[in-house]
Structure 1
Amino acid sequence: MAASPETPVYVEALIFLGAAVVAVPLFRKLRLGSILGYLAAGLVIGPFGLGLFSDSASVMHIAELGVVLFLFIIGLELNLTRLWAMRRDIFVLGTGQVILTGLLTMLYPLLVAHRPWQAALIAGLGLALSSTALVMQLLNERGEVQSAHGQKAFAILLLQDLAIVPLLALVALLSPVDSTGGDPVWIAAAKMLGAVAVVVLTGRYLLSPFFRVLASAGAHEVMTAAALLVVIAAATLMTYVGLSSALGAFLAGVLLAESTYRHELEADLEPFRGLLLGLFFISVGMTVDVSAIVSHWALLLGAVVTLTFIKTSVVYGLMRLLRNPHDVAIRTALLLPQGGEFGFVLFSTAVAAGVMHQEQATLLVVLVTLSMALTPVIAALAPRFVRKSAAPERKEDFRDARGSVLIIGFGRFGQIVSQLLLAEGVDVTTIDIDVEMIEAAERFGFKVYYGDGTRLDVLRAAGAERARLICVCVERQESATRILELCRTSFPLAEVYVRAYDRGHALELIQRGAHFQLRETFESAIAFGRAALVGMGLPPERVAEVEEDIRQRDRDRFALQQQGQDVVAVSRDKLYTRPAPRPEPFIPPQRQSVTLNPAPAAEAPKDDGTKP
């Protein structure tokens, strides 16, 4: 790895840490971001800089563990329900992006650089893959992972990680080298499906009991070691069968997202993730061949411009076609103009298979690295292209936040909740993330602090540790669930009341430990129905009986669903699906039915004196 094989390991570590400690703060001070700092540090200490290290590939093999840990932590932030909800973005938007970008990008090496169509196709498809590590790190630094454009970008990146498998198969198909010695396609596919099944079943049934046993032992360092073991084992298994190591770590994280040990695992792995991800970007910087840039600067400049234009145009066009707002589409497109780390794998495989020459692969690696270096600058341009700039972020001072009740979310729901509490003189602290709403509330004399309730540091600053009661009144159910998890894990002494979106969300909140939940439209719908019955002329006592009957049926149905009973079977007995049967009299009624629109008196039938 180092220029001298006798160099001790601690000296190598000293060089890496020293380069990062100097470069990253400097670049952040210049508002260029930490990623560019890592890339610059790698360029300086690499074989094309000071030459302190001669082999960047071996460094990258170790540094890729940072990407693996990063994907595991991202998986912890999701769960299978949210992943299923993203299926349209993953498979439609992601697949369209890879195919269209690959076919358009291949025209540059085919027509400008005059490469064979096989090499141009692999180059185009490889450049269609963006950098998961780079984009997610950018989103993480800006606190935009859970934003709309952050979720869209993540869905595309996830499909790209999956796409590396068929792309490697395509390289083998285009290779002029005889590769019949490998496994048949059906055996390779069976191995991949088997590996995924092993990860899924292990994560579903074994990991939670495994961590429960370790937690009962009380050894914190063992929990950290176990978390690393799970991540590395899943990544190794996926690599062995030809899949992405990051995919295995991501699956393990998703399957542990429902675990009670999720936040503990995230906190344990965060230091390793940060250091190793920084090492990954340093190793990418070490691959920058300055002499290749100087020799082919015109070709590379045109390639960077072309790649950026094609990728941003394709992502923006597809997102608008799928009816995404302009702001979300442009922010997502400007996050994904770069090549990615999986391109390194694809290009080296193509060289080994004889699909492209080493010279072309070298230029492609330089192109990917340059595009990665330019991405933070390009992404920073997003506010200039949106129709309406986002509301300015406020720096809030929570020193006066001393309420015994913390209300998170001051929309329509939270405002009414606060009125009841304030009417009784309860000391309330309220936070919200909508700057315009906060300013409007201040005009009415309310003190609402600016803060994102899904962030643990904001909750602490707002006094969640001192609060007797935490009222989660936000609109988005994902945010409400996230806040509940943070509060139950970090503030166990406080009771947590949560606004539920619907029945399914209410059941989920109870499973996650909410002390009280209420569906946001339930009470208003009951009141509306009660008024409707009164308007129909029913006596008040009968209206009260009907209301209590409906409430009791709902309670019974909810209790049965909590026990895991079938929704349809439960609903069949507890819901009115047709008018309730009325007792039929033995003697026919001695009056005629009443119509809502009686005929005029002149046209009314005359009474002939007979009984019906």
Structure 2
Amino acid sequence: MLNDVPTLLGAGLVLLGIFVLGYIGFRTRFPNVILYILFGISIAGLLHENEILHFSSEVAIVLLFFLLGLEFNMKRLGGMAKKIWSSGLLDVILSLVVSMVIAFVFGADWFSALVIAGITYATSSSITAKLLDDKGRMANAETEYVLGILIFEDLVAPILVAIIIALSSGDQFTGVDMLFLIGKIIGLTLLAVILGKTVFMHVEKFLLRIDDEDFKIVLLVGIAVTFGGFAVYLGLSEVLGAFLAGVMLAEIGKIEQVEGTVTPVRDLLLPTFFVYFGTTIELGEGIPYVGMLITLVAWSLIAKILVGIVGGKLYGLPKRVALRAGLSLCARGEFSVVIAGVAAGSIKIFGGIYIIITAFLGMLLFNYAPKITTKIYGKPPKKKKDLRVPTV
């Protein structure tokens, strides 16, 4: 039986598969993330609910956003939050509300329309962040805006998931429940701020005293996983918790020490996240709701591009940079999988097919975003260098 494969054997085969696919991606310059997801889909029956694969994927996504959080100290995060809310609300209207209306027009009932809109709403934080890092675009002008949208969505998505789960179980999601959930988000953020300004202000000196790199890995990965896990315990996203853990440590003077220690562990584990992600996608037999699928895929791409163009302008980005941001936000991923898991029957299969299509198209648009931007706006003007000889 396929499901009788020992957990450890399955994990070893996954690592060997990742090596082969990574090598193929390197030689062909094909995005290896797509290969990892397709690999996961192909072995879903063999490694369904593999405990080691699941655990390593959880740690990987936590470390990915922990390292991203290191780039945002409290001051920078506060400045980003003040500017991102209007663009985030625009994203909710275009990607969630309009998608719900489209599903309703195609004959879905209100609950199914909400589930479908939830599947189409959030950009894949993991895919987008991985591509930003792989393509060397972390220092680009649009990156702060893109990360701001991702974090905003990671605040909205848990609320949406809680509403959908409550409705699917027959319970009511009241205004008190909403306030309680928002209160947990605010509380977790305040805890991160307090710890960052007190305890973690002194971590740098402590790290310098630790000569053994293994102990540093245990400490730093432990901090990231604990805060991410605490967020999950509160019913929030581990992505949000991990990002806030990075923000806490961003207050220390030399974050490159932390980055240098954690990055190799992240790089080792991160491919397992995309493989596991692939194993969770339900395909079923046949494609349900073809007309609605085509319409929502097209609208999903248009909506995110508009979030980049219009929302980026609200954020203060130039037209060229705003378009590049919009083209980088189109992939769907982990939250879509979570919400699709709540659905049943044809809606669940619809969600799996939608996720594969938008993940693939989103990665293609991300890769070609600079070329598309140049095609539309032309090459950016070169900065003039001041060649004058300074006078004494």
TM range (shorter): 0.7 to 0.9
- 1:71 is aligned, of 65, 68, 75, to 65
Q: Which residue of 2 aligns with 1:251?
A: 244
Query: Residue 357 of structure 1: SS of its match in structure 2?
Result: coil
Question: Which residue of the partner structure matches residue 141 of structure 1?
Answer: 134
Unaligned 5+ runs, structure 1: 393-408, 424-612
| AA of the residue aligned to 1:31 | R
Percent identity reads 23
Quote how far apart the aligned CAs of 1:200 are.
Answer: 2.8
Answer yes or no: is the 8 Å Cα contact 2:40–2:274 preserved in 1: yes
The secondary structure found in structure 2 opposite 1:234 is helix
Note the C-alpha offset of 1:280. 1.0
1:43 maps to: 41
Q: Decide whether aligned partners of structure 1 residues 362 and 139 sit closer, same or farther in structure 2, where only a CA change above 3 A counts.
A: same
Distance (whole Å) between structure 1 residues aligned to residue 128 and residue 298 of structure 2: 19
User: Does the CA contact (< 8 Å) of 1:64 and 1:277 recur in 2?
Assistant: no
CA deviation after TM superposition for structure 1 residue 119, in Å: 2.2
Measured against aligned partners, the alpha-carbon deviations of 1:272-295 in whole angstroms (never above 9, x if no partner) come to 212222111112222444544556
Q: Distance in 1 between matches of 2:390 and 2:280?
A: 61
Report matched runs for 1:314-463 at 5 Å. 314-320=307-313, 324-348=317-341, 351=342, 356-382=343-369, 383-385=371-373, 386-389=376-379, 411-412=385-386
* Per-residue deviation, 1:145: 1.3
Q: Assess, with a 3 A threshold, how the Cα gap between structure 1 residues 17 and 73 changes in structure 2: closer, same or farther.
A: same
Counterpart in 2 of 1:20? 18
Matched, 1:111 2:105: yes
Counterparts of residues 224-235 of structure 1 (less than 5 Å): 224-235=217-228
Asked whether the 8 Å contact 1:98–1:125 carries over to 2, the reply is: no
Cα 1:105–1:189, aligned 2, differ >3 Å: closer, same or farther?
A: closer
Whole-angstrom CA distance in 2 between matches of 1:323 and 1:215: 39
1:519 aligns to what?
none
Structure with the larger helix share:
2
Inter-partner Cα distance in structure 2 for 1:65 and 1:80 = 24
* Superposition CA RMSD, Å: 3.2
Residue 195 and residue 306 in structure 1: after superposition, are their counterparts in 2 closer, same or farther (change >3 A)? closer
- Equivalents in 1 of 2:246, 2:139: separation in Å? 16
User: In 2, are the aligned partners of 1:3 and 1:54 still within 8 Å (CA)?
Assistant: no
Aligned-residue offset at 1:227: 0.2
The 3 A distance-change label for structure 1 pair 291 and 93 is same
State the secondary structure of the residue aligned to 1:260. Answer: coil
- Decide which structure has the larger Cα Rg and report it: 1
Question: What is the CA–CA distance in structure 2 between the aligned matches of 1:80 and 1:293, rounded to whole Å?
Answer: 49
Structure 2: how far apart are the matches of 1:221 and 1:282? 27
Corresponding letter in the other structure for 1:376: M
Deviates more, 1:265-274 or 1:194-203: 194-203
Counterpart Cα distance in 2 of 1:154 and 1:221: 30
Q: Secondary structure at the match of 1:368?
A: helix
Distance 1:217 1:291, change over 3 A: closer
> Partners of 2:180 and 2:65 in 1: how far apart?
27
Gap change, CA 1:8 and 1:153, over 3 Å in 2: closer
Contact 2:213–2:261 under 8 Å retained in 1: no
Cα distance in 1 for partners of 2:61, 2:324 equals 23
Q: TM-score of the superposition, structure 2-length normalised?
A: 0.86
Cα distance in 2 for partners of 1:4, 1:172 equals: 29
Aligned partner of residue 195 in structure 1, secondary structure: helix
Provide structure 2 residue ranges, at least 5 long, that are not aligned to the other structure: none
Identify the structure with the greater strand proportion: 1
